[in-house]
Chains A and B, each alone.
Chain A
Amino acid sequence: MADIESESLPVSLRPWPTEDPSSDDIQLQFARLFQQRGHFRHITEEGLREEIATEKDGIDDVMEGVEEGEEAPAQDEKERWEELMKAKMQMVGFIGTALNEARYIQDYLSLLVSRDAPKLADTTLSPYVKQYKLPGTLGIDKWPLKELDAPEKRRQELAAKGWRMKGLEDAADSVLQAATRLESEVRKETQYWEEVLSIAQKGWSVRRITREGRKAILGVQFGFSEASDHFKSRGFSPLRMDDKGGIILDAGLSQKPKAVRVRIQEDGRITGSSKLPSADGITQPSIEDLIRRARDSLFEEELYHEMSLETRILLSHEVRMRDSVIHLPAPATDESKRIVLIDIVLLDETLPQIDDHSSDSVARNVVEALRVLLLHAHRQRLHDRSQTPRPLSEQKTPNLPPPILRPLLNYFHNAQAIQSVQDYLQNTKAILSSAGLNVSTKLKFDPKLSNLTETIKTSPTETKSSADKLVSTLIIPQTTTASIDLPSSLKSAIQQEPLNIAIHTLVTKPTFGTRYTLSLPQSVATAISSEVVTAGTFTFTTLADLTSYIDLVISLDLSTSVIAKALSGWAPLKGLPKLTKQPRKLSPSDASKQPRKHLRINLEQTRLLVKCVWETVPERVEEYAWDGGVRKGKKSLEEVVAEWDVKP
């Protein structure tokens, strides 16, 4: 009873400590002492003696306590009873715990055994564990712990030593390796950065781009910043490092250079070709050479690409794309069949030689013009981009290709129109002068072109440069004015306005072609229609209409203002280049009756024809023609008419 009370743990259930053979070991004893007493420095001889003394007393105390308890049982028997009950309860609890532990062990062992002897295990396994159906899940094995013998020990020691040495060796190796690697890396980096620096020093813009989720790469920007999207992305080439630190050429840089070629075809025969930018002939090109080549090639490819897109909207102008060759009709005159052929060729390709070089200059100018126009389109794009953006709306702005072929086509058509009008005027002038009427013709270009320096002058606040202004002035459709004096102006004293023909060509909306605007001065209009009319302008879209109208106007002018005024008696017909002369009746009984005479003046394409008809029976007809040729003895118009006038 006293034991249970004084001790807190059921010591009796513990196994009795076995005799430790090493308990004599001084070390263990020290440890035990240390645990029991604490540090030695607190232990003194007096202290120990005192303690021994008190220990005796202590034991006595215990004995005394027991005695006291026996001495006064009646004092509080009830208390004592409660105490006992409490102790009993405690003991029962402890026993329960022990039983529980034992059952655990039993279950554990039964599970272990259940693999080999399931029946036996079944009898001892508790129902609680049984419900989980775990028999045979635990395994057991045992093997002897072998005592190492001396040689084995030694071998193991040697092996350990060996491993350690090997480890150290490896460490040294890897450090060395790291050093070499670092050295080669430094060399590589130096080489790489030197090359990058040399590129940058040549003026190429080197920049770093970070792509989503990838390492930032360094690259060179050689394309044009305002190129169309596809070519813009191709204008950047990453500069990657190879094993030796050199720069790996990107596919974009190592492509074969290309260039746009322009050939002139006349009547199915090639008569001229533009000179290709000569391949630089460097067999071992440096990276800068390659970048320059790539830049040039990219520009040419973009030019060709934009042009081929543009051909689609120019189909109505007979611009065709056949076998990757753009056919652009560029007639110099009405009859010629001149075609500009544009294609893109590899620079190192051997091309068939052309013997004829008569149109080389045209081809060369065309190809230069195309390049200038693309550059201008780039600048224009930047300019448009810098303007205040249009408000967002659902209407999409049409994305037309930049005008490259259109200005060229415009130029060719316009030049042809001007040439045709001029040819016609020269021809007419020659015919009239052969008939003794020396009229003059004039050709005046657009005022914007005549004072070009004034037009392209820029103010400092303007963002457009002079070069841009120059190009845009040149590619805006021009109005050229050709003029011819009327024959009547030679006779009249007052200065008469000439016939003016304004020539304007537009290949795009709204006219799709050349427009000839003839302005008829009021005096002329009044004179030829013999009534007061206002000055008018007439617009023709074909040259034939225009020339036949001018022919008529000149014929009318000749009949109404020249002949009718020079000779009396001739009455011009209204609206027709015809004159009639009634016979002069001196007296009603005049026998010598003169027949009525008609005179018809006709300016045609190649000649001026004057016809006189006498209304006799049968009709008498005489005619005279001038075709512009200068011959001796040729009479003038007035002479001829004067002759007929007096002829009976």
Chain B
Amino acid sequence: MYELLLFGQLPRARHEQLLKILAGVAAMQPQRVLERHVVYRPQREPDEPGSNLRRGASQGIVQKQVKQTVARDLYFTQMVQTLTEEDFKEQKSAAPWTLQFNDVPDTGDKGVTVRMVSSTDFVEGDPHAYMVGFGNKVVSEYYVEGHRYVHKNILILLHRVLTEPGPQSAEQSPKPSLPTFDSLSSLDPSGTYILQASIRVVDNGSPALIDAGVEELKAFKDLLKGCVELDAPDRLLLDTRVKYQPKSFANLPPAAAA
């Protein structure tokens, strides 16, 4: 499935105002959204870029050229759980989890961000065990709090990212209990809200469908002109690939250093 996206920023002071404006635009009351996101990354480190290319001088032995494949990229994935206020009161939740994967946005400037997404609902079983079983490890957790509207095909999400205060402890698995809602603090200290407008398009290779979605999203952008400036951010800001970090020699284990 493709996802077309536009983002806008909103100072905290205008949050209430925009909630009302959007309620008028979408002709519906805002729906509360509370989500818990757990970020996973593969346990394996990514290969060094270019490591697949042969290095060193050839010995002149005529070999059959092995097809050189590009090093596979490794991606961050997320597990998302939709929560309610009640869950925060009870500090635990049995809500189902969803596995979310977002690709790097497509190149090409359509005026909106276009990326492949996939989300899979876990029906039963232990999602964390599944993720670990596939060679992933927990990186961090964060919470999304905000409101949701639907305007025709556009999903409007006015939200901000909340995190638990204090240093991130190196957890091996998602925390079994939820923190209280009041203890969460905004990731952005100024409390800025993010307005995200998105349209999902089925992936059937039809550019006309994507164009129709782009048009609708742009029309929405024009509608909100002067209220919130929606824009497509640089695609590499939404990069979900794991970056290669060269190891310094000092950190190498002694055997390798020798």
* Chain A residues at the B interface, C-beta cutoff of 8 Å: 225, 382, 385-394, 461, 463
Are A388 and B150 CB-contacts (below 8 A) given A461-B84, A461-B85? yes
Other 5 A-B pairs with CB < 8 A, given A389-B150, A391-B202, A394-B209: A382-B28, A386-B31, A388-B150, A392-B200, A393-B204
Residues of B within 8 A of A (CB): 1, 27-28, 31, 84-86, 150, 152-155, 199-202, 204, 206, 209, 212-213
In the assembly, what is the distance between CA of A388 and CA of B1, in Å? 15
Q: Are A385 and B150 in contact (CB under 8 A)?
A: yes
Rank and list the top 8 A-B pairs by shortest CB-CB distance, nearest first. A391-B200, A393-B202, A392-B201, A391-B202, A389-B153, A461-B84, A392-B213, A386-B28
Distance, CA A272 to CA B150, complexed state (A): 46
Closest residue of chain A to B30 (Cβ to Cβ) is: A386
Task: Check if A392 sits within 8 Å of B153, measured CB to CB.
Answer: yes
The verdict on A389 contacting B206 (CB below 8 Å), with A382-B28, A461-B85, A461-B86 known, is no
CB distance from A334 to the nearest CB of B (A): 46
Question: Interface centre among A382, A386, A391, by most B CB within 10 Å?
Answer: A391
B161 CB to nearest chain A CB (Å) = 20
10 pairs, CB–CB < 8 Å, chain A vs chain B = A389-B155, A389-B200, A391-B202, A392-B153, A392-B200, A392-B213, A393-B204, A394-B209, A461-B85, A463-B31
A55 to B84 alpha-carbon distance, docked (Å): 111
| Complex Cα spacing A362 to B204, Å | 52
Is B31 in contact with A389, judged by CB distance below 8 angstroms?
A: no
* Docked-complex contact B28 and A385, CB < 8 angstroms: yes
Taking a contact as CB atoms under 8 Å apart, the answer to whether B155 and A388 are in contact is: yes
**Please, which residues of chain A bring their CB within 8 A of the CB of B206?**
394
Q: A385-B28, A386-B31, A461-B85 are in contact. Are A392 and B154 (CB under 8 A)?
A: no
With the chains together, A209 CA to B31 CA distance in Å?
26
Q: Please tell me which one of the listed residues B1, B200, B204 contacts residue A394 in the complex, with CB atoms under 8 A apart.
A: B204
Chain A positions within 8 Å of B153 at CB level: 389, 392
Q: Please, how many angstroms separate the alpha-carbon atoms of A589 and B199 in the complex?
A: 99
Nearest-Cβ distance from residue B147 to partner chain A, whole angstroms? 12
A391-B201 in contact (CB<8A): yes
Q: How far is the CA of A499 from the CA of B209 in the complex (A)?
A: 56
For B199, the chain A residues whose CB sits under 8 A away are: 389, 392
Residues of B within 8 A of A386 (CB): 28, 31, 150
Q: In whole angstroms, what is the CA distance A394 to B201 when docked?
A: 10
A196 → B minimal CB distance (Å): 20
The chain A residue sitting closest to B87, CB to CB, is: A461
In the complex the two chains form, what is the Cα distance from A390 to B209 in whole Å? 13
Q: Which chain B positions have C-beta within 8 A of A394?
A: 204, 206, 209
Residue of B with least CB distance to A382? B28
Q: Which residues of B contact A391 (CB under 8 A)?
A: 1, 200-202
Q: How far is the CB of B16 from chain A (nearest CB, A)?
A: 20
Q: Cα distance A393–B152 when bound, in Å?
A: 14
Which residues of the other chain, B, contact A388 by a CB distance below 8 angstroms? 150, 155
- What's the least CB distance linking B118 to chain A, in Å? 12
Q: Is the CB of B209 within 8 A of A392?
A: yes
By a CB distance below 8 angstroms, the chain A residues around B28 are: 382, 385-386
Interfacial chain A residues near B201, Cβ < 8 Å: 391-393
Nearest B-chain residue to A389, judged by Cβ = B153
CA distance A99 to B201 in the complex (A): 86
Looking at the assembled complex, report how far the CB atom of A386 sits from the nearest CB atom of chain B, in whole angstroms: 5
Cα A391 to Cα B204 with chains together (Å): 11
B31 to chain A: which residues have CB within 8 Å?
386, 463
Give the residues in chain A near B204, CB-CB below 8 Å: 393-394
Q: Closest approach, in angstroms, between the C-beta of A384 and any C-beta of chain B?
A: 10
The complex places the Cα of A391 from the Cα of B155 at a distance, in Å, of 10
Cα–Cα, bound, A292→B190 (Å): 48
Give min CB distance, A208 to chain B, whole Å. 12
Shortest Cβ gap from B218 to chain A (Å): 14
Query: How many angstroms between the C-alpha atoms of A392 and B202 in the bound complex?
Result: 6
Q: How far is the CB of A395 from chain B (nearest CB, A)?
A: 9
**Residue in A closest to B153 when the chains form the complex, CB atoms:** A389
Enumerate chain B residues within 8 angstroms of A385, measured Cβ to Cβ.
28, 150
Closest CB-CB distance, A282 to chain B, in whole Å? 33
Least CB distance, B174 to chain A, in whole angstroms: 22
A392 with B212, Cβ < 8 A, contacts A461-B85, A463-B31 known: yes
Contact A393 B84 (CB under 8 A): no
Cβ-closest chain B residue relative to A461: B84
A517→B107 CA distance, assembly (Å): 60
| Set A225, A387, A393, A461: member contacting B150, Cβ < 8 A | A387
Question: Min CB distance, A67 to chain B, in Å?
Answer: 89
- Complex CA–CA separation, A387 to B28 (angstroms): 11
Per the bound structure, the CA–CA distance linking A501 and B212 in Å amounts to 53
Please give, as numbers and ranges, the residues of chain B lying within 8 Å of A463 by CB-CB distance: 31
Residue of A nearest to B84 (CB): A461
- Nearest opposing residue in chain B for A387, CB measure: B150
Residues of A near B84 (CB, < 8 A) are 461
Output the residue of A225, A387, A389, A463 with the most chain B CB within 10 A: A389
Q: A392: which B residues are within 8 A, CB to CB?
A: 153, 199-202, 209, 212-213
A461 → chain B closest CB, angstroms:
5
Q: Which residue of B lies closest to A395 (CB)?
A: B202
Shortest CB-to-CB span from A242 to chain B, Å, is 30
Alpha-carbon distance A385/B204, docked complex (angstroms): 24
Whole-angstrom distance between the alpha carbons of A394 and B155 in the complex? 19
Bound-state CA distance A389–B153 (Å) is 6
Nearest-neighbour CB distance to chain A for B211, whole angstroms, equals 10
Residues of B within 8 A of A390 (CB): 200
Residue numbers in B under 8 Å from A461 (CB-CB): 84-86
Residues of A within 8 A of B154 (CB): 389
Chain A minimum-CB-distance residue to B85: A461
How many angstroms between the C-alpha atoms of A392 and B153 in the bound complex?
7
**Interfacial chain A residues near B1, Cβ < 8 Å:** 391
What's the minimum C-beta distance from A387 to chain B, rounded to whole angstroms?
7
In the bound complex, what is the Cα–Cα distance between A441 and B62 (angstroms)?
93
Bound form: Cα–Cα A388–B153 in Å:
9
Which B residues are in CB contact (< 8 Å) with A393?
201-202, 204, 209
Smallest CB gap from A463: residue in B: B31
A225 CA / B24 CA spacing, docked (Å): 12
Q: How long is the Cα–Cα vector from A382 to B150 in the complex, in angstroms?
A: 10
| Closest chain B CB from A112 CB (angstroms) | 66
**Interchain CA distance A140-B209 in the complex, whole Å:** 76
Chain B residue nearest to A383 in the complex (CB): B28
Q: How far is the CB of A380 from chain B (nearest CB, A)?
A: 14
A382 to chain B, nearest CB (A): 7
A528 CB, nearest partner CB in chain B, Å: 43
